[in-house]
Structures are given as C-alpha cells and as structure tokens.
A = this chain, B = another copy of it.
C-alpha cells in the first residue's frame, strides 16, 4: 500500500476544518489550497473535484472519530454509562469547537449534508451513510438498555432512530442559536425520549 501523500492528508484535514467552520459553498478550492499550503495542481491531482474532496473528507473525519465511539459504546461498559459518556463526548466536542472558533459549529455531516442534499447526490449519500453509522451505535445502546430492563422493550429500532433524530435536532438548534444550552441538556432529552427516569451518575 502506498502511503497517502502528505498533501492529500493536509488537504483532507484543512478542508474538513474550513467547511465545518463556514460552509461548503463559501469555501473555495483556492482557499483550501492556500491554508493547506498546497498548490492547485496538487489538489486536482489528488481529487477529481471539490465535491469529491468533501466526500473524502467526510470519510476521513469519521475514521478519526470511530475509535472513540468504539470505546464509548463497548459492550463491556454498562449501557447507562455508555449513554452518559456519549453525551459527554458530544458536549466536549462542541465545547472545544466553540472555544477555538468562537461559535457553535454543530454536526459537520448534518450541516453540509443539509446544505447540499438537494444539489449533490454523492454528498447527500455520504452524509446519510455517516448518519447511519451513528445510528448503529445508538441501536446497540437502546437494545442493551431494553435487555437490561431500563426501558420498555418495544420497537427498539424505531426508538433508536428517534434518539438519533433528536440528537440531530439538538446540534442543529445549538448551531442556530449559537449556544451550548441545548447541548448541555442533551442527555435529559434523550432520557425523556427513552422513558428513562433521570438518574444520578456515580462519580467516575
């Protein structure tokens, strides 16, 4: 396997960051190249088009996140704790972005997906795929919560989708309000949706 070139790596990272911070439409290929310290020629050697870069950047960003998710949703962790940790991860991520950019950025897949879903089918599909992957984790969590008797064992698949939808809404709303408030109450909302009584988490 050839080790992906440094330029390509830098372009992927820079692109994700810039598009996340503003939007796909308002960031030009030129902008990305300048910030990444790469020439335009190299850009079009590495990627067919701007749209292609976005898709690749999505994948890259996911690959970066996956290990953390695998750890949080490990079957070894009790399901209530998984929920705690997952919500905390989202809070931490958003806080970090808020600290470094001075504004709420929300979920990059949803933001960009929403911006382009009606115009660029490849990007829409990739965003949908990312959303699906997140759903898999939530499904396993909800299923285990049901098995452990914390929630009613109705249609757990449907319930998981509702939880994902709610999370999407929270991140969206947070971006719109440019405030952490909604994100901070994420867990509370999820628990209400799940029909879980508010519980006090033992100190870690």
Contacts and interface: CB of A to CB of B under 8 A. Distances in A.
A79 interface: no
Copies in the complex: 2
If over half of A's interface residues share one DSSP class (helix, strand or loop), that class is named, otherwise mixed; here it is helix
A168 B168 CA distance: 8
A25 interface: yes
A26 B172 contact: no
A114 B106 contact: yes
Interface residues of A, number: 48
B116 A162 contact: no
A85 interface: no
A160 B164 CA distance: 19
Interface stretch (A35-43, A139-147, A173-181): A173-181
A7 interface: no
Interface string A106-138: 100011011111110000100110010000000
Interface string A7-30: 000000000000001111110000
Given A23-B116, A189-B193, 10 more contacts: A22-B118, A23-B118, A113-B175, A114-B115, A114-B175, A117-B175, A124-B178, A169-B170, A169-B172, A192-B195
17 contacts: A21-B118, A22-B118, A23-B118, A25-B115, A26-B119, A103-B117, A113-B176, A117-B178, A128-B177, A131-B173, A161-B182, A164-B173, A165-B182, A166-B166, A168-B172, A169-B170, A172-B172
